[in-house]
Chains A and B, each alone.
Chain A
Amino acid sequence: MVSPAGNVEGRRDADTPVRAQCEVLTRRREGVYWHLSFSAREIAERARPGQFVNLAVDAPGTLLRRPFSIAKVSSKGPYAGTIDVVFDAHGPGTRWLTTVEPHDVLDVIGPLGTPFPLPQRKVPCLLVGGGYGTAPLLFLADVLTRKGLRTDMIVGAATRERLFDIIEAKRSSASVTLTTEDGSAGTQGRVTDVLDRVATASRTGVVYACGPNPMLAAVSERCRELGLPVQVAVEERMACGIGVCFTCVLPMHTADGSVRMVRSCLEGPVLDGARVAWEQTGVGGTSVAIPPAATSAAATSAADAQRRARERELWGER
């Protein structure tokens, strides 16, 4: 049963997600990706960069919603109260979404998950995007710029065609550095090959990253070596998106030195990249091994305690 557009359910507190019936405004190709814009005032009012929406799809053989990072929120002008998402059509759910038309009604839950924390002092921010993972970073760049912070971007992908929206990246950031694995645009290689250089040149104080997990693991590792705080938005297979099914878990080092499986839909998708136990996530493959209960010496070191203290001061109360 489809409710009419504009119907909204939920507590409507400032920080609670809602379920809304949203009218599709546009659906178009954006390079090799797809771009979808829909009217969702109550979600747009609450959404912050890094959070996601969960869309019901009506494709044959599907049951579950599909999660999408919020790529943009329009709060002013004729498109006030709209949400944009960007996706790759790689399964029956996303393929169905490429067929929706303007004025169709989508059943949307959001905003869900944790947002990117914003620094409490003026530090230059480096945003590292892989593939369509760049999309939510453009929303973040917009928010950081409005706070008066300098942003620099590294935009990477396998090929030139898979670099997402370079024009918008250039508009929002002080510098944009491109990398492609095949060398068809920018520096040939991966985002981590240029990270040191860009971070030094732009006096980076904070790194944000969004893209495939192997890229996030590599960026987190490089940031750890450089002593840079790093916040990553992960993409995991989800069933519910609201924290009840325990499908989308990732291992995280805790302050007491143990490793705990956290839900990327509730405690993430934005996580402290330095605390994700990437070595146990089987990045490159898809399987996550279950961490041993034993305490990890590395996580309880004095250096780690110092890092945590510095970051508490950087991000403030969260």
Chain B
Amino acid sequence: MSAEVRRVDASELAAREVPETEAEVDLAVDLAGIHLDNPITTASGCFASGREVDRFYDITELGAIVVKSITREPRQGLPTPRMAETPAGMLNAIGLQNPGVEAWLEHDLPWLAERGAKVIASIAGTTPDDFRHVARALRRQPGIVALEVNLSCPNVSHRGLVFACSGPDSAEVISAVHREAEVPVLAKLTADVTDLPGVAEQVVAAGADGLTLINTLLGMAIDPDTGHPELANTYGGLSGPAIRPVAVRAVHQVHQALPDVPIIGCGGVREVGDVIQFVRAGASAVAVGTSTFVDPFVGQHLIGGLRRWLGERGFASIAELRGAVQPW
């Protein structure tokens, strides 16, 4: 594991206060003005309603919970097969199966709010008005600390091209959501574009308070014998460790261009070293997705592991590592 073997730079050693014990390590971070006890969140679409993983451990230990994307109307999702395993990753095409905003507010959010979870509500739609409608329905609801706008949805008025592939289309959605929202708005972007910092600049100009980088990468797999695509939808989103280097690059690139914009880093996080990579690249918080499928405890493990990693190396806080990439 290359992530486990790393040199501690001398300038870092000199600059910091050395904590006495691991317990003193400060994992708290600020994300667009939201205080999180630690930087570990869930990735949208990988945590369902929260109750499923709460069978294993207390999910309020997580810094925040990004829920599965909510749409205006209930969605049954796409036909199966919806998933295919690929080297160090997987393809999925679920189709945003969700109960719709009304049922989510009635059945899912009250439980999260009662538990005291910090909820980042992911919202999705096929027109800017869909997004606006959901954002409006989520106003003044308990527990919601931010909205994450899932821009990797097909835009019906643009040949089904996803919003996130176009800066102007993304900006239009963000501006519609921004007008309704009373909590910070995070734009979730894809790295399937030629100029990611350009798209990022446009959504920030439209009112995004932060960014989530990155969504899955579009992929395809074909059964060589039958000739069928592995997914009923033909194409699907690639996730898992396979996309991690792309995600770290995306965070770094955007952080260089927009150093003041908070970022949730996301893509193939499995181990503590992966979290550190994203924070050094410029992320304020780090979302865990596909790894939850393999290890339901991964979020809890990362929080404990992060404290140990920082304590052993004498760092007083995670926040001080943000953007700390040492040039060659």
> Is there contact, CB below 8 Å, between A290 and B78?
yes
A19 interface hit (Cβ, 8 Å):
yes
Across-interface contacts of B77 in A (CB, < 8 A): 246, 249, 261, 290
- The SS class assigned to the A binding surface is loop
Binds B, one of A27-35, A55-63, A302-310: A55-63
Answer whether A17 and B81 are a contact pair too, CB < 8 Å, given A247-B92, A249-B97: no
Across-interface contacts of A62 in B (CB, < 8 A): 85
Instruction: Compute how far the CA of A18 lies from the CA of B77 in the bound complex, rounded to whole angstroms.
Output: 30
Chain A, 253-298, CB within 8 A of any chain B CB: 260-261, 266, 286-291, 293
Residue from B83, B92, B94, B95 having most chain A Cβ neighbours under 10 A? B83
> Is there contact, CB below 8 Å, between A244 and B57?
no
Chain B, 161-200, CB within 8 A of any chain A CB: none
Size category of the A interface is: 35 or more
Across-interface contacts of A65 in B (CB, < 8 A): 293-294
> Is there contact, CB below 8 Å, between A244 and B232?
no
> Is there contact, CB below 8 Å, between A290 and B79?
yes
Interchain Cβ contacts under 8 Å between A and B, 24 examples: A9-B56, A9-B297, A10-B56, A11-B55, A56-B294, A61-B88, A63-B90, A63-B241, A64-B85, A239-B83, A240-B293, A242-B55, A242-B56, A244-B47, A244-B293, A245-B46, A246-B48, A246-B68, A246-B82, A246-B94, A247-B81, A247-B83, A260-B76, A288-B80
> Is there contact, CB below 8 Å, between A287 and B80?
yes
Total count of chain B residues near the partner, CB < 8 A: 36
Chain A, 16-67, CB within 8 A of any chain B CB: 16-19, 56, 61-65
CB within 8 A of A242: which of B79, B94, B240, B296? B296
> Is there contact, CB below 8 Å, between B56 and A19?
yes
> Is there contact, CB below 8 Å, between B79 and A247?
no
A243 interface hit (Cβ, 8 Å):
yes
Task: Quote the shortest CB–CB distance from A289 to chain B (angstroms).
Answer: 5
Residue from B48, B95, B297 having most chain A Cβ neighbours under 10 A? B48
Across-interface contacts of B232 in A (CB, < 8 A): 287-288
CB within 8 A of A247: which of B56, B57, B88, B94? B94
Supply 19 further A-B pairs (C-beta < 8 A) apart from A62-B85, A244-B46, A288-B79. A19-B56, A19-B295, A19-B296, A19-B297, A63-B85, A63-B90, A109-B296, A239-B85, A239-B90, A239-B293, A242-B293, A244-B292, A246-B77, A246-B94, A247-B94, A248-B80, A260-B76, A287-B81, A288-B232
